[in-house]
Amino acid sequence: MARNLAQRLDRLERLAAALLTADTSPVYLREGEAIPEGIDPERVVFIVRTFVEPPARVEDELPATQEPIFSDEGSQRQERRQPLEYPPLGVA
C-alpha cells in the first residue's frame, strides 16, 4: 500500500506542476496582428482603436462664463486678524 501511495503522490505532483506552469493568462494583440505560434487562440484578446467624434453643439447652448465676485468684507476681515502669539522658547 505504501508503494501505491508513493505512486499516487508522484502522479498528483506531476499534475499539479503541469497545471501551475500552464500559462492561461490572456495575450493582448492589436487588431490585425498575427497570433504567435504556440499560443492558444482562445487566450488572445484583440485591442481595437476607435475614434469617436463628439456631437456638434451650438455655441449658444454653452454655459455663460462668470466673473469672480469680490466684496469689501473679505479685505476687512483680513485687517481684523491678529498675528499668532507663540509661547516663549527656552530651556527649563
Q: What is the pLDDT of residues 66-92, one digit of tens each?
A: 887 776 655 555 555 677 788 888 776
DSSP 31-45: TTPPPPTT--GGGEE
DSSP 3-state of 44:
strand
Phi, psi of 17 (to 5 degrees): -65, -40
What integer pLDDT is reported at residue 72 of this predicted model?
Answer: 61
Question: For the chain, which residues score pLDDT lower than 50?
Answer: none
